[in-house]
Amino acid sequence: MSQSIRAKKMGELMEKYPFLEDFFLQNRLFTQNAQDFTLEQYLNSLSEEEIEEKALDIRKIPEEMEDYIRQVEEFLGIREEQSVSSLTILPGYTKDKVPESFEKLRLVPSQITSIVGPTGSGKSRLLADIEWTAQADTPTGRTILINDKKPDLKWRFSSNNRLVAQLSQNMNFIMDLGVREFLEMHAQSRMAAQPEETIRRIMDAANELAGEKFSENTPVTGLSGGQSRALMIADTAILSASPIVLIDEIENAGIDREKALKLLVSEDKIVLIATHDPFLALMADQRIVIQNGGINRILPTNSEEKVLLEKLSDMDRTIQKLRSDLRSGKALQGTDISL
C-alpha cells in the first residue's frame, strides 16, 4: 500500500481519508497548497530547514500514514477484511436443558430468515445470542460463528465495530437535529465516498417505506413512529456498516414491510426477523420455529407457501391502498377490496 500512497495526489488522499488532516497537523505539515502534488512530491518539496525544525523522517511518513489509516479504519469498523460472508448458529438447549436437534444453521448475505413461535418462547433470546456472538456463555448455550470461525472479540466488546443493527417497533429519537443533519453526521462518521448521493438515496428509500412523506428539514423528533422506522431502515440498509440486521416485531410499524425487507437484502445484509405475521414469515427464505426456548425446526419456504405469499401480498397491497386513501381523506368503497 505504501507505493500507492506515495503515488496518490494529496487531494485524492484527503478526499478518500478526511481524517488525514489530523495526521498532517500532528506532524505540523500544512497541505492547503499541495492538493495537486503526490505525497512523494510534497515530501520532497520540504526544505531541509523544515525537516530539521519539525524533526521529521520523511522516509517513514508514508509508512506512518498507512498505520494511521489502518488504525482509524479499524476504530470506525470499516476495514474491508471485516466483511461477513456467513453467520452460523450451533445448537444449545431448551429451557428444560434438552439439546436442540439441528446440527448447524448457516446464514448468508441477501437471505431473509424469519423466527416464529409463541410469545415468550425465546425468539428475542435467539436475536440476543446473535447480537452478542454467543460462545456457549448465554442461557441457551448456543455458539455463533462468523465466517465459519470463532468471532473476533471486537464484535462483542467494541462499540465501534457493530456486527448487528437491531430494528424494533419502538424507535424514538432524542437528538435535536433535522433529518438532513442526522444523515450528514452519520455519513461523515462512516466516511461515505459520495455523501450527497448517499443522503439522497436514504431519503428516497425512507419516503418509499413511510406512510406519509417527510422532508430533509423535518426535525427527527418530529417524525411519526412509522417515519422514524422508515428512516432507520433506509439508513441501516444503505449506510450502516453492520452486515447483520435483526428485526423484532415490525408488523404494526406503519411502513411498507415488503419494500423494507427487499431494500435490506438488496444491500447484501443477512436479515433475521422475529414475527407473528404470516406475510412476513413467508417473505423469508426459511423460518426458524422456536418452542420452549429452543430451536425446534428449520423450515424452508416451500412452493405452496410461495403461492400463498402471492395472495397475502395482494391483500397487503389492498390494505396499504386503503390506508393511503384514509390518510388522504378519501371515502372508501366496497369495490376497493378485491382479494
Lowest mean pLDDT among 47-56, 90-99, 271-280: 47-56
**pLDDT for 12:** 81
- Which cell is 241 given? 456498516
Q: How many CB atoms within 10 Å of residue 170?
A: 10
Mean residue pLDDT of the chain comes to 84
pLDDT digits (tens, 9 = 90+) for 283-313: 999 999 999 999 999 999 999 999 999 998 8
- Which cell is 293 given? 426456548
180 pLDDT above the threshold of 90: yes
**pLDDT for 294:** 96
Length of the chain: 339
> What backbone torsions phi and psi does residue 280 show, to the nearest 5 degrees?
-65, -40
- What's the rounded Cα separation, in Å, for the pair 20 and 243? 26
Q: May I ask the CATH architecture of the domain 84-301?
A: 3-Layer(aba) Sandwich (3.40)
328 pLDDT above the threshold of 60: yes
Taking Cα atoms as reference points, which of 294, 288, 263, 260 lies closest to residue 274? Answer: 288
- Which cell is 183 given? 444523515
- Break the chain into its structural domains and give their ranges: 2-76, 84-301, 305-339
pLDDT digits (tens, 9 = 90+) for 15-39: 777 778 888 888 888 887 888 888 8
User: In the chain, helix, strand, coil percent, each to 5?
Assistant: 45, 15, 40
pLDDT digits (tens, 9 = 90+) for 91-105: 999 999 999 999 999
**pLDDT for 81:** 43
Q: Residues 211-231: what's their mean pLDDT?
A: 87
Q: Is 294 within 8 Å of 100 (Cβ atoms)?
A: yes
Reported as a pLDDT band with limits 50, 70 and 90, residue 267 is confident
pLDDT digits (tens, 9 = 90+) for 148-179: 999 877 666 655 556 788 886 655 665 678 99
**pLDDT for 52:** 85
- What's the rounded Cα separation, in Å, for the pair 37 and 297? 62
